[in-house]
Structure 1
């Protein structure tokens, strides 16, 4: 599995399945491998930020710059592990952990009021003023028992989103 142009062996497929907690079938792993090879244009064995941006849906995502920090340089096994959070079989905790990483842009294990403001700005663009975003977020923090000076940990995120019915499922097309 070293270079992207080599073929996957049964052992490779099983190893990737274990790495992503068996959330993808063998056929889905093979399909993802073909897509990975298409993205890895130079057959380096990993996908660069520029290669990720060649996917129109990814490039158009308002959070693409934050996501790029998470996906730049992923090899195939880590590419599948990243995508596993989008599987319908992924647990709510796995999905929330991914969202938390998007918000925790400095990777310090905490999300501040300002971190969330930055994401809201990315998501809402010019549709909301900074004052409106700040008012909404201040109210949400207050209702959840936090202040502007609070830092949310992963455990806080799990508490807040755990029962939200969050849906991030993406179906893997099988060739």
Structure 2
């Protein structure tokens, strides 16, 4: 009967289940994984405001095996962090893994993919955003001319309204026609 350690209150677990695509067991597994990143900072019990107030710095999060090989790891952490700098609270981390889970619906994945590619945060994916993405994806192995050629082709193909940048709707249209995108937009724990 004993001294069972309570990681979260029942209400917290219920709220996390309502806001994510995870079961209680998966939420507890996410907490365990989060705690492993910096055990001296993250308590075993998070029944107060710790799930929001305790943050693990970006440099620690980028070392996670689930993220370290992803060229967008810094940007992913920035998008999901409440501080915008990539320092993740447990709830930020839970949201991140939930969106990247196989259970997350396509429209949620498209929304966050758009935010990740919108490096300057202007609600469009412009030539500068595409250039930044290409540099990350190719580890800067393309010449500026090659990148420019690709950027022009992407905009030519996807920019329906002719404004020189991709709106969310234009991005969504392109992404939903690329089945490989969704099969690669996940993180396994």
Query: For the superposition of Structure 1 and Structure 2, which TM-score range results when normalised by the shorter chain?
Result: 0.7 to 0.9
Quick check: 1:170 aligned with 2:187? yes
Choose from 37, 42, 55 the match for 1:46. 55
Cα distance change of structure 1 residues 171 and 126 upon mapping to structure 2, 3 Å threshold: closer
Q: TM-score, normalised by structure 2?
A: 0.76
Aligned match for 2:151, one of 115, 137, 144: 137
Note the residue ranges of structure 1 that are not aligned, 5 or more in a row: none
Deviation, structure 1 residue 57: 4.6
Q: Paired residues, what number?
A: 166
Q: TM-score, normalised by structure 1?
A: 0.82
| Unpaired segments ≥5 residues, structure 2 | 43-52
Aligned with 1:59: secondary structure? coil
The aligned counterpart of 2:23 is 25
Residue 76 (structure 1) aligned with residue 90 (structure 2)? yes
The alignment yields a C-alpha RMSD, in angstroms, of 2.4
Give 1:148 deviation, angstroms: 8.6
* Residues 47-73 of structure 1: per-residue CA shift (max 9 Å, x gap): 221220232452332222322322423
State the partner residue of 1:62: 71
Q: For residues 100 and 132 of structure 1, what CA distance do their matches in structure 2 show?
A: 23
Matches within 5 A, 1:68-147: 68-70=77-79, 71=81, 72-145=86-159
Highest RCO, 1 vs 2 (Cα 8 Å, sep ≥ 6): 1
Q: Distance in 2 between matches of 1:59 and 1:116?
A: 22
- Partner secondary structure for residue 37 of structure 1: helix
Contact 2:56 2:88 in 1 (8 A): yes
Mark the CA change 1:129 to 1:148 in structure 2 (over 3 Å): closer, same or farther.
farther
Change (3 A) 1:141 1:66: same
CA distance in 2: counterparts of 1:87 and 1:15, whole angstroms: 18
Return the alpha-carbon distance in structure 1 between the equivalents of residues 90 and 175 of structure 2. Answer: 29
**TM-superposed deviation, 1:35:** 0.9
Q: Is the 8 A contact 1:113 1:151 kept in 2?
A: yes
